[in-house]
Amino acid sequence: MHEGVIVKSLFDIAEKSRREACLQEIKTVKVVIGKFHQIVEEVLRMYFDLMKKDLPGFEKAVLEIEERELKIKCKKCQEVILLKEADFSCPSCRSIDIEVIQGNELYIESLKGKQKNKLM
């Protein structure tokens, strides 16, 4: 149940970014999560909806999640493979010299909200 800690960190970053950009009412918080992370989306949303109530500016925010599949690249034959099951070797040449090129993501991509007109 580490999703609560993740949502708390998410709001710490989002709130700082909101203030810096002078956004008022946040409509969307977009996050990117790679499949390699063992994060349960329903639990993440539950914590998001619970915590946003206590954070001015985020009360009406919606969490938008972009999930990224797990992809590896074989350093020997250069093949890029979309992993459907956990086997971190190249299916073509069986090399174990591979690089994970997608699926480790866990970041906030953007915030969407109403911006107070800045005074000149």
Partner 1 sequence: MESHEIKVMQKILNINDRIADELRKELQNKKILYLNMMSSPGSGKTTIIERTANDYTKNIFAIEGDIQTTIDSERLSNAGIGVYQINTGPFGGDCHLEAGWIRSALEDIDLTKIEYLFVENIGNLVCPAEFDIGAHINTLVLSVTEGEDKPLKYPLAFRNSQLCIISKIDLLPYLDIEIRKIRENIKKINPLIEIIELSAKTGEGFDAWLQFLTRNKK
Pairing mode, if any, of strands 23-34 and 62-68?
Answer: parallel
Contact of 3 with 39, CB cutoff 8 Å: yes
Q: What is the DSSP track for 34-70?
A: ETTS---HHHHHHHHHHHGGGSTT-TT-EEEEEEE--
Q: Which residues pair with 81 in a beta bridge?
A: 72
- Regarding 108 and contact with partner 1 (CB under 8 A), the answer is yes
Shortest reach from residue 97's CB to partner 1, in Å: 8
Nearer to partner 1, 80 or 88 (CB): 88
Q: State which of positions 2-21 bind partner 1 (CB under 8 A).
A: 2, 4-6, 9-10, 12-14, 17, 21
Count of residues touching partner 1 (by CB under 8 A): 39
Site of interaction with partner 1 (CB under 8 A): 1-2, 4-6, 9-10, 12-14, 17, 21, 23-25, 27, 31, 36-39, 85-89, 96, 106-117
